Chains A and B, each alone.
Chain A
Amino acid sequence: MADLKAPASGHDKLMIGQSATGIYVAHAILILGILIVAFPIYYTFVASTHTLQTILRPPLPLLPGPEFWNNYSQALSGGVNRIGGVGVDTLLVNTTVMALGIAIGKIVISILSAYAIVFFRFPLRMTFFWIIFITLMLPVEVRILPTYKVMVDLGLIDTYAGLIVPLIASATATLLFRQFFMTIPGELVEAARVDGAGPWRFFFDILLPLSRTNIAALFVILFIYGWTQYLWPLLVTNSNSMNTIVIALRKMISFADADTQWHLVMVTAMLAIVPPILVVVAMQRWFVKGLVESEK
């Protein structure tokens, strides 16, 4: 893959057959595209800084209002009535635990199983590989009810384990690590063994440092995956205090009756959107590389 990162500044150089007007049009279309793409998020922020009365009398102004501190502190401290008085802080903690648990859990169990499958020879090795591989074809959505039953039987409803564990086994991460491990030259393993390194020493001192980039990329993708889950937390959480922020947001909105606290809903929406965006933007380099390369 060519380097995706273009110099941040620099002049547009014209290629043969390109006109200067064409470049201006390109910039214009890109800016328009960004405005359209960013508008819903920007407008949510604008709405989160106005009073409920202003929101209820559309159209809403295009610029933020003066209620930023008021609305945010009210949502963070007071809690919202519709979701049983659970504060946004609790929801954020739940969602963070779930996203981190899924990201870290998935990376740990898949790097271990990929390690076993690539660097050891043992009976049933390929059988295990296929058992893991086939789970690609069994997303939660196609086994909703029976999986729910398993959760009830194991007493995992309304627990962090229930939110995390069933989602950490998936084939994609294992396949990714397997693919990467297979590019590691056998000489490296041999050299390590000659120097007296056992399997654990090799894993921690050589394999893990080599996998750093892959782990970082995977971490971003899985963190977003965990943060944006909807169907699963909807099924396995009943109590309001165990909800993720996405589910709670859904419960707060009602178009039928007039007492939806829109200004607080918008604050909650902002708090649900900003953390994963920060993760993606901050780790953009690894994320883009990992996404485009791993899925190819």
Chain B
Amino acid sequence: MTPRVVFPNRILPYLLVAPQLAITLVFFYWPAGQALYQSMLREDPFGLNSRFVGFANFRKVLADPAYVNSLEVTAVFSIATAAVAMSVALLLAVMADKVVRSRGLYRTLLIWPYAVAPAIAGMLFLFLFNPSIGTLAVLLRKAGISWDPLLNSTDAMVLVVTAAAWKQISYNFLFFVAGLQAIPKTLIEAAAIDGAGETKRFWTIVFPLLAPTSFFLLVINTTYAFFDTFGIIHAVTGGGPGKATETLVYKVYNDGFVNLILGESAAQSVILMIIVIALTAIQFRYVERKVHYG
């Protein structure tokens, strides 16, 4: 509820919102409008003139096998990253919920990766796993596993997913710990008295009660994998080998900045915007539900 008591002032409130409004209009709305407008134009290769082509760019982009490929890559990458980051974090959080001794220390030691830039996370993993000087790559080779993320597309995907998931474990861990602490201990003890074993207690009581936290984290992790991992892809694989790790955001950047296909890059931006709007809508519906029943 807004306080009903307010300050009577005619000019001051406008001055207070002015800085944010100005920046928002110049750096958000103007470029977003430009992206919408450009997505309907096609320029000749020399950029001398452009004409209005309606939705032709969208049709072309969606029919392009390279774009469909990057949709698939993004889907695989996001699902794998969210799955790995969330399951590892859940396991650690459940363990941290059991212990009392040195719990604070464990948490301190687990939140480090949150502060590491995704691109740096990618470079560290590349340092460990690159075929020529990577220590872990050497060990893998000694163990008889052939491994080359610079040439093999599956290996490349595994590498970027590992780096992206590693970085996200801390965040998920903090939320799962908070979620677990909100579950009444009496509920779990009652089940224990009724003879339910530890595994059964987890799957029938704890896991369902964590559903809101898990769902929230799923949305956050998907958004993270979609947008914040550009640095990992750019620094580690550059979308390669071939186009095996070319995610949607990387493709927008590559087509727009490197290949200079402006209309299609803009159309891709608009498609991404629609994806963000969908993700945000899902997130807010969830928040709303939580307010009503939580």
Other 12 A-B pairs with CB < 8 A, given A4-B181, A29-B95: A8-B104, A13-B100, A40-B125, A59-B135, A137-B276, A141-B252, A145-B265, A149-B31, A186-B4, A189-B5, A228-B116, A295-B175
**Partner pick for A33 among B26, B33, B88, B126, CB 8 A cutoff:** B88
Q: Contact: A137 with B23, CB < 8 Å? A: no
Q: Contact: A224 with B114, CB < 8 Å? A: yes
Q: Contact: B174 with A16, CB < 8 Å? A: no
Binds B, one of A83-91, A106-114, A209-217: A106-114
* Contacting residues, chain A, for B120 (C-beta < 8 A): 228, 246, 249, 269, 272-273
* Contacting residues, chain B, for A30 (C-beta < 8 A): 92, 95-96, 99, 106
Q: List 5 A-B contacts (CB under 8 A).
A: A17-B193, A27-B99, A43-B124, A116-B12, A145-B269
* Contacting residues, chain B, for A228 (C-beta < 8 A): 115-120, 231
Binds A, one of B50-58, B61-69, B75-83, B182-190: B182-190
* Contacting residues, chain B, for A18 (C-beta < 8 A): 98, 192, 198
Give residues of chain B (10-36) contacting chain A, Cβ–Cβ below 8 Å.
Answer: 10, 12-14, 16-17, 19-21, 23-35
Distance of A168 Cα from B42 Cα, bound (Å): 33
Distance of A144 Cα from B265 Cα, bound (Å): 9
In the assembled complex, the CB of A72 is this many whole angstroms from the nearest CB of chain B, namely: 18
Give residues of chain A (232-255) contacting chain B, Cβ–Cβ below 8 Å.
Answer: 234-235, 246, 249-250, 253, 255
In the assembled complex, the CB of A201 is this many whole angstroms from the nearest CB of chain B, namely: 11
**Partner pick for B230 among A3, A141, A193, A281, CB 8 A cutoff:** A141
* Contacting residues, chain B, for A288 (C-beta < 8 A): 107, 111, 174
Of all A-B residue pairs in the complex, the 5 with the closest CB atoms, nearest first, are: A17-B192, A230-B231, A228-B117, A186-B3, A146-B34
Decide if B243 is an interface residue (CB 8 Å cutoff).
no
Q: Contact: A22 with B88, CB < 8 Å? A: no
Q: What's the interface size class on B, roughly? A: 35 or more
Q: Contact: B227 with A2, CB < 8 Å? A: no
Q: Contact: B134 with A4, CB < 8 Å? A: no
Interface, chain B (partner A; CB < 8 A): 1-7, 9-10, 12-14, 16-17, 19-21, 23-35, 38, 88, 91-92, 95-96, 98-121, 123-128, 130, 132-135, 137-139, 150, 166, 169-171, 174-175, 177-178, 181-182, 185, 188-189, 191-193, 196, 198, 201, 216, 220, 227, 230-231, 234-235, 249, 252-253, 256-257, 262, 265-266, 269-270, 272-273, 276-277, 280, 290
Q: Contact: B201 with A17, CB < 8 Å? A: yes
Known contacts A37-B166, A190-B5; is-contact A125 B13 (Cβ 8 Å): yes
Distance of A279 Cα from B115 Cα, bound (Å): 8
* Contacting residues, chain B, for A101 (C-beta < 8 A): none
Q: Contact: A230 with B169, CB < 8 Å? A: no
* Contacting residues, chain B, for A1 (C-beta < 8 A): 178, 181-182
Which of A3, A169, A186 has the most chain B CB within a 10 Å cutoff? A169
Which of A110, A143, A292 has the most chain B CB within a 10 Å cutoff? A143
* Contacting residues, chain B, for A3 (C-beta < 8 A): 181
Q: Contact: A56 with B230, CB < 8 Å? A: no
Q: Contact: B20 with A169, CB < 8 Å? A: yes
> CB-nearest residue of chain B relative to A8?
B104
Distance of A230 Cα from B185 Cα, bound (Å): 43
Q: What's the interface size class on A, roughly? A: 35 or more
**Partner pick for B198 among A6, A22, A125, CB 8 A cutoff:** A22
* Contacting residues, chain B, for A135 (C-beta < 8 A): 24, 28
* Contacting residues, chain A, for B150 (C-beta < 8 A): 255
Which of B13, B113, B126, B175 has the most chain A CB within a 10 Å cutoff? B13
Q: Contact: A184 with B3, CB < 8 Å? A: yes
Q: Contact: A22 with B98, CB < 8 Å? A: yes
* Contacting residues, chain B, for A182 (C-beta < 8 A): 1-3
In the assembled complex, the CB of B57 is this many whole angstroms from the nearest CB of chain A, namely: 13
* Contacting residues, chain B, for A138 (C-beta < 8 A): 28, 32, 273, 276
* Contacting residues, chain B, for A63 (C-beta < 8 A): none
Known contacts A182-B1, A184-B3, A288-B174; is-contact A169 B27 (Cβ 8 Å): yes
**Partner pick for A7 among B12, B19, B104, B192, CB 8 A cutoff:** B104
Known contacts A58-B138, A253-B123; is-contact A118 B3 (Cβ 8 Å): yes
> CB-nearest residue of chain B relative to A16?
B189
Q: Contact: B189 with A26, CB < 8 Å? A: no
Known contacts A41-B124, A125-B13, A165-B23; is-contact A277 B5 (Cβ 8 Å): no
In the assembled complex, the CB of B99 is this many whole angstroms from the nearest CB of chain A, namely: 5
Decide if A60 is an interface residue (CB 8 Å cutoff).
yes
* Contacting residues, chain A, for B35 (C-beta < 8 A): 142-143, 145-146
Q: Contact: B111 with A143, CB < 8 Å? A: no
> CB-nearest residue of chain B relative to A150?
B31
Q: Contact: B127 with A26, CB < 8 Å? A: no
Decide if A196 is an interface residue (CB 8 Å cutoff).
no
Q: Contact: B231 with A33, CB < 8 Å? A: no
